[in-house]
C-alpha cells in the first residue's frame, strides 16, 4: 500500500510539536514537522497560557505538512496537558486568556470547597485526587473573583477541545481530558452535575462528552485553505497527553494490572491500567486518581511533580550565569553521592522564583544536608523523584491487589538514564525505558484505528513494540 500520513499535534508544558506518522501497513514511522516553545506568561499578576500564539504555531506546522504531504494526509488529532480550560460565550468568543494551572489564584480553594461539599463526597462523585490545580478549584476561584465572566460562559472546553474548535468548529469535550477536571463522575461516565450544583457552578457550560477515537469533524474551510491540507478529518484521540502515552506503552499485557507506567516529563504520572475505576477508601486515603483511558479503561495514578524540578533548577542556574544542557546536568548529578531527599510535591516547588533555593529550604527544614553545587541539587531532585515513585508504587499494589512486576517509563524523561536506574533501584523492579515519543504514538495509533487500519488496543501496542527501541534497567 502507498504510505498514509497521520498528523499528531502534541502540546506539553515546555514545548509543542506537529508530528507526522507514516503508516506502511505494518510500521509507523515518525517525523517532526514543526516544533515550538511553550510555557506560562505573566500578565499583570496572573500566570496565563498564550493560546493564540500556540494556535498560530500549529497552523504554521500544518502548512508545512500540507506542502510536504498534500493529499496523503488522512487525519489530524490533538493531545495536550490536562486540568486547564477555555470558556466560550454563546458567540464562541473566548472569555479571557486562559489561566495556567500554576497560577496562584487556587491557593486555599480546596479548603473553601470542603466547607460546602466534604472531601469524602467530592471523591465519591469524582474518584479524583485532590490537587489545587484541578479544574474544579480553578472554576471555584473564577466564581469567587470573576463571577460575571463565569455567568457569560456558554461552553467549557479543555485546551485540546478548544484547539479542536479552532480546527473544525467542534464544541465537544473528549472523555480522557474531562476526567482530569474533578468534575466528572467515573461510575456514570458523565459530568458530576449533582456535585456541581452544590457548588453553584453553571451546569449548562458542560457539554457533550465523546470517547477517544471519535471523528469530530473536518478542517474548517479557512484552515484547509491556509494550510493546503484540504478538508481533512479531525479525530479526537485520547486528548490528555498521559492517556495517549498509556495507549502507546509497549506492553504485551493489555488487560492486566501487573505492570505500571511512569509518563515522565514536566510531570511524572505513575499509575496502572485498570478495567474499572477504583473508588475504595484506600484510594482516597492514598490520594490517587481515576482518569479515563482508551476502550473504557481507567488510569489509576498519582501526579508527581516530575522533571519540572530539573527544568527550573536549570533556569535558576542560568540566572547565576551558568548555562548547562540537560545531559550535562545529569552527568554532574551522576558524579555526586546519594544525599538529601525531599518530597517533590512540596508546595514550595510548585512555582518558585528560584528552584535551587526552594529545594535547599526543604532540605534545611528536614534537617538534611543542604545541596550546594549544581550536580548535588539535580541529584537531590532525581533521588527525591525515585523515592516518591517507590512510595506510590507500594500504594498502587495495595489498592489494586496486584503485584506489579515491571515499570514502563515513557516520554521525554525516559532518556534520563540516571533517573531510570535510580527508579529501578528504589522500586526493586526492572524498568523498561521508552519510547520517548509514546504520547504522539498513542495519538497517531488511535487515528489509525479510527480509520480502520488497526483493530484493537493490543494491536496498537504491538505496533509500538515493532516501531520503537526500548532499554531495560535492572535494579542494583
Catalytic residues: 241
Phi and psi angles of residue 235, each rounded to the nearest 5 degrees, phi first: -115, 140
In a 3-state reduction of DSSP, which class is residue 476? coil
Residue found by looking up cell 522564583 in the block: 353
List strands edge to edge, sheet with 471-473: 289-292, 298-304, 268-274, 259-264, 406-410, 431-433, 471-473
Helix axes 326-334 and 308-319, enclosed angle (nearest 10)? 100
**C-alpha of 441 from chain center:** 14
- Residue 275: DSSP 8-state: S
Q: How far apart are CA 115 and CA 327, in angstroms?
A: 47
Dist CA 44 CA 311 (whole Å)? 24
How far apart CA 268 and CA 271 sit, in angstroms, is 10
Between vectors from CA 203 to CA 146 and to CA 173, what angle results, nearest 5°?
95
Q: Contact at 8 Å (CB) between 174 and 158?
A: yes
Taking alpha carbons only, the member of 72, 3, 432 closest to residue 252 is: 432
21 and 8 in contact (C-beta within 8 Å)?
Answer: yes
Amino acid at each position: 500500500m502507498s504510505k498514509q500520513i497521520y498528523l499528531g499535534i502534541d502540546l506539553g508544558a515546555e514545548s509543542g510539536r506537529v508530528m507526522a506518522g507514516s503508516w506502511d501497513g505494518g510500521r509507523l514511522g515518525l517525523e517532526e514537522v514543526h516544533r515550538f516553545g511553550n510555557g506560562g506568561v505573566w500578565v499583570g499578576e496572573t500566570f496565563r497560557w498564550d493560546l493564540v500564539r500556540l494556535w498560530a504555531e500549529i497552523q504554521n506546522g500544518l502548512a508545512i505538512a500540507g506542502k510536504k504531504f498534500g493529499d496523503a494526509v488522512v487525519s489530524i488529532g490533538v493531545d495536550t496537558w490536562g486540568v486547564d480550560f477555555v470558556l466560550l460565550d454563546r458567540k464562541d468568543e473566548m472569555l479571557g486568556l486562559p489561566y495556567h494551572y500554576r497560577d496562584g489564584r487556587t491557593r486555599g480553594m480546596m479548603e473553601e470547597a470542603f466547607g460546602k461539599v466534604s472531601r469524602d463526597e467530592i471523591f465519591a462523585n469524582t474518584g479524583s485526587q485532590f490537587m489545587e490545580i484541578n479544574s474544579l478549584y480553578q472554576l471555584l476561584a473564577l466564581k469567587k473573583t470573576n463571577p460575571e465572566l463565569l455567568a457569560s460562559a456558554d461552553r467549557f472546553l479543555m485546551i485540546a477541545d478548544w484547539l479542536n474548535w479552532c480546527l473544525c468548529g467542534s464544541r465537544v469535550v473528549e472523555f480522557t481530558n474531562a476526567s482530569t477536571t474533578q468534575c466528572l463522575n467515573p461510575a456514570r461516565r458523565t459530568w458530576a452535575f449533582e456535585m456541581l450544583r452544590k457548588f453553584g457552578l453553571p451546569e449548562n457550560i458542560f457539554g457533550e462528552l465523546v470517547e477517544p477515537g471519535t471523528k469530530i469533524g473536518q478542517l474548517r474551510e479557512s484552515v484547509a485553505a491556509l494550510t493546503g491540507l484540504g478538508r481533512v478529518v479531525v479525530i479526537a484521540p485520547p486528548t490528555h497527553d498521559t492517556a495517549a502515552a498509556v495507549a502507546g506503552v509497549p506492553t504485551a499485557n493489555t488487560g492486566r494490572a501487573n505492570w505500571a507506567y511512569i509518563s515522565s516529563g514536566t510531570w511524572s504520572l505513575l499509575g496502572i491500567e485498570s478495567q474499572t475505576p477504583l473508588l475504595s477508601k484506600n484510594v482516597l486515603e492514598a490520594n490517587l486518581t481515576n482518569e479515563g483511558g482508551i476502550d473504557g479503561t481507567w488510569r489509576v495514578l498519582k501526579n508527581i511533580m516530575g522533571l519540572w524540578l530539573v527544568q527550573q533548577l536549570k533556569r535558576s542556574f542560568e540566572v547565576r550565569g551558568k548555562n548547562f544542557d540537560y545531559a550535562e546536568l545529569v552527568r554532574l548529578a551522576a558524579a555526586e553521592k546519594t544525599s538529601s531527599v525531599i518530597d517533590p510535591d512540596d508546595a514550595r516547588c510548585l512555582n518558585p522564583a528560584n528552584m535551587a533555593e526552594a529545594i535547599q529550604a526543604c532540605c534545611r527544614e528536614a534537617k538534611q544536608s543542604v545541596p550546594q553545587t549544581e550536580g548535588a541539587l539535580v541529584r537531590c531532585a532525581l533521588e527525591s523523584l525515585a523515592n516518591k515513585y517507590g512510595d506510590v508504587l507500594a500504594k498502587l499494589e495495595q489498592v489494586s491487589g496486584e503485584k506489579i512486576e515491571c515499570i514502563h517509563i515513557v516520554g521525554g524523561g525516559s532518556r534520563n538514564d540516571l533517573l531510570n536506574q535510580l527508579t529501578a533501584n528504589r522500586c526493586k523492579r526492572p524498568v523498561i525505558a521508552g519510547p520517548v515519543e509514546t504520547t504522539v504514538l498513542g495519538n497517531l495509533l488511535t487515528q489509525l484505528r479510527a480509520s480502520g487500519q488497526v483493530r484493537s488496543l493490543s494491536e496498537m501496542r504491538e505496533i509500538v513494540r515493532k516501531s520503537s527501541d526500548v532499554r531495560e534497567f535492572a535494579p542494583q
